[in-house]
Amino acid sequence: MDQRAATLALPETPRSFGFFVDGQTIEAGPRGHFERRSPGHDVPVTRMPKCTKADLDMAVAAARRAFEDGRWSRIPAVERADVLLRAAQILRRRTEEIAYWETLENGKPISQARAEVGGCAGMFEYAAGAARALHGDAFNNLGEGMFGVVTREPIGVVGLITPWNFPFLILCERVPYILAAGCTIVAKPSEVTSATTLLLAEVLAEAGLPAGCYNVVTGSGSTVGQAMTEHADIDMVSFTGSTAVGRRCVAAAAGNFKKLGLELGGKNPQIVFADADLEDAADGVAFGIGFNTGQCCVSGSRLIVERSVARDFEAMVAAKLAKAKVGDPLDPETQIGAITTTAQNDTILGYIANGKQEGARLVCGGDRLDFGRGQYIAPTLFGDVTGTMAIAREEIFGPVLAVMPFDTMEEAIAIANDTVYGLAASVWTKNIDKALTVSRRVRAGRFWVNTTLAGGPELPIGGFKQSGWGREAGIYGVEEYTQVKSVHIEIGRRQPWVG
C-alpha cells in the first residue's frame, strides 16, 4: 500500500487518545478532553484527556515502582540497548503515521515531519550504543591500602515537560538518553501537541520496554506541569519551553531539590562577514528563520551583517524568503507551514506591529497570508534595527528576522552577546581566523560555522546564560541523568583508630 498517498487527507473525525500509565492506556472518561484543531486547516484533529494531579500521582507511583524494582535500572545495559534498537526500527516502520499526526497538530510541513521522525530513530540508535558505553572511573593511585572507583547510577524518576514546536523531536532528544541511563519517565507533552508523545508509548511497549518505564500524562501546564515540577517523588525534571515558565520550575524544584534540566528561549545571532560565500549564507540565513516558521529555540533571528554588504545581502535573503513555499502543511512541496497556536500567531503579529512602530524598515513580509483557512504569516525581514528595539531583544518565536549591521569584528561579537540568552549562534566567513575567534567569543551552547541548525544525536544541546541549564543528547545527555558515586575500597585492614 502507498502509505504516503493514503495519509495526506484530513481525518474525517478527530482521533481520541487515552493517556498511558504502567503499560496501560487509560481513556479520558469523566475527565473530559482537550480538542485540538489543526492550525493549518482549522478542523478538529485530536482529542486528549484532561488529566489531573491524581493521574500524575498514579504515573509517578508507577515510574517509581518500575525504577526501584530494577526491571529497567538494574538490567545489563546490553538489554536496554536491545530495546532502544528495536524502538528505532519500529519508528522507521511507523514514520509516516507519526509524521502525519505531528503535522496535523503542529502545522509543520509533512516533509519536515518525516525527516524529523527519521532523525529520532537515529537518536534511539545512538543512545543504544551510549547505554553500553556509559562507564565510571577508577583510581589506582591512592596507595597500597586504597582503591577508588567512581560509578554512575541512574538518577531515578524523570519528569519530562515538552513544548509544541518540536513535539516529537524534542521528546526523542531526551527519552532514549534517559532510558539509556536506566531511569524511568513520566512525560507531559504540550496540551496542543500530545499525539506523538502517546504514539511513542506504543512504540516503546512494542519494543519490549517494561511497563511503568515510560508513562504519559496529558494536561495543562498550570495543573499537571506545575504539579510535576513540585512533585516530591520525582528526582529530576527536564523542561523545554519559555524562560518565564523555566523560572517557575526553578522555584518549584526547591521543594525536594530535584535536579533540573532547562532548555529555554533564544535570540540567536547569524553573523555574516563580507568575505562569506554570500549566496550560500543568504540561503542559510533564510533557512535559519524560515524553518519551522521560526518557531525554534535555535532560530537565527538576528542577522548581524558587515555594513559594506548589508543592503545587498538583505535583498538576497528577502529574495530567498519570497521564494520559499508557504502553505498547506500536508502538501509535500510546502517548506513553511502554519503558526502552531492562535496565541503564538497573535504574539508574532504583535511583534511585527511593534517593529514598524519602533521605526524598523520593513523589507519583506509583515502580514498574514490568507489561504482560506488556518493561520499563516509571511516570512518577514526588518532592516535598520537597533539594539534597543523589542524585535532585537525579545524571543519572537516566529518568521521575523531583524537586520543589524556592523563595522568591525569586535562590534559583531558585542552585538551577538548583547542578549540575556545564549542558546545558539552562526558565523558565515571564509576566513578561518574570524570564524574561530567569533566561535570562541560568542556565548552560546551551540555554534555553527558556515551552516545553521545542523545537529544530530552525537552533539549535545543546551544553552548559556538565561537559555538554560544542562545538556541533552550525546554522551553528555546520558550523563545528565546519572548520579556520580565515589566508592572507597580498603585493601587489607584499616589503620586502627583506637590502638
Residue numbers annotated as active site: 263
**Nearer residue to ligand TXE within complex by CB, 192 or 415:** 192
**Nearer residue to ligand TXE within complex by CB, 409 or 444:** 444
**CB 163 → ligand TXE: shortest distance, Å?**
3
**CB 167 → ligand TXE: shortest distance, Å?**
9
Is 424 near ligand TXE (CB under 6 A)? Answer: no
Residue ranges in 70-99 that form contacts with ligand TXE under rule CB under 6 A: none
**CB 389 → ligand TXE: shortest distance, Å?**
17
Mapping DSSP onto H, E and C, the string for the chain reads: CCHHHHHCCCCCCCEECCEEECCEEECCHHHCEEEEECCCCCCEEEEEECCCHHHHHHHHHHHHHHHHCCCCCCCCHHHHHHHHHHHHHHHHHCHHHHHHHHHHHHCCCHHHHHHHHHHHHHHHHHHHHHHHHCCCEEECCCCCCEEEEEEEEECCEEEEECCCCCHHHHHHCCHHHHHHHCCEEEEECCCCCCHHHHHHHHHHHHHCCCCCCEEECCCCHHHHHHHHHHCCCCCEEEEECCHHHHHHHHHHHCCCCCEEEEECCCCEEEEECCCCCHHHHHHHHHHHHHHHHHCCCCCEEEEEEEHHHHHHHHHHHHHHHHHCCECCCCCCCCCECCCCCHHHHHHHHHHHHHHHHCCCEEEECCCEECCCCCCEECCEEEECCCCCCHHHHCCCCCCEEEEEEECCHHHHHHHHHCCCEECEEEEECCCHHHHHHHHHHCCCCEEEECCCCCCCCCCCECCEECCEECCECHHHHHHCCEEEEEEEEECCCCCCCCC
Q: Tell me the per-residue interface mask from 249 to 288 with ligand TXE, x by CB under 6 A, - otherwise.
A: --------------xxx-----------------------
Is 429 near ligand TXE (CB under 6 A)? Answer: no
Is 163 near ligand TXE (CB under 6 A)? Answer: yes
- Please identify which residue in 111, 242, 437, 439 interacts with ligand TXE, judged by CB under 6 A: 242
Is 173 near ligand TXE (CB under 6 A)? Answer: no
Is 354 near ligand TXE (CB under 6 A)? Answer: no
- Using Cβ positions, the residue closest to ligand TXE within the complex turns out to be 221
Is 168 near ligand TXE (CB under 6 A)? Answer: no
**CB 463 → ligand TXE: shortest distance, Å?**
9
* All cell numbers assigned to 255: 521543594
**Nearer residue to ligand TXE within complex by CB, 264 or 444:** 264
Is 240 near ligand TXE (CB under 6 A)? Answer: yes
**CA-CA distance, 50 to 220, in Å (whole number)?**
8
**CB 293 → ligand TXE: shortest distance, Å?**
12
**Nearer residue to ligand TXE within complex by CB, 292 or 335:** 292
Is 167 near ligand TXE (CB under 6 A)? Answer: no
- Please identify which residue in 226, 437, 439, 451 interacts with ligand TXE, judged by CB under 6 A: 226
- Please identify which residue in 397, 421, 469, 481 interacts with ligand TXE, judged by CB under 6 A: 397
Is 225 near ligand TXE (CB under 6 A)? Answer: yes
Is 391 near ligand TXE (CB under 6 A)? Answer: no
Is 342 near ligand TXE (CB under 6 A)? Answer: no
- Please identify which residue in 102, 105, 235, 395 interacts with ligand TXE, judged by CB under 6 A: 395
Is 222 near ligand TXE (CB under 6 A)? Answer: yes
Query: Order of strands across the sheet with 24-26?
Result: 24-26, 19-21, 214-216, 184-188, 157-161, 236-240, 259-263, 468-469
Is 160 near ligand TXE (CB under 6 A)? Answer: no
Judged by CB under 6 A, the number of residues near ligand TXE is 27
**CB 226 → ligand TXE: shortest distance, Å?**
4
- Interface with ligand TXE by CB under 6 A: which residues? 161-165, 188, 190-191, 220-222, 225-226, 229, 240-242, 245, 248, 263-265, 297, 344, 347, 395, 397
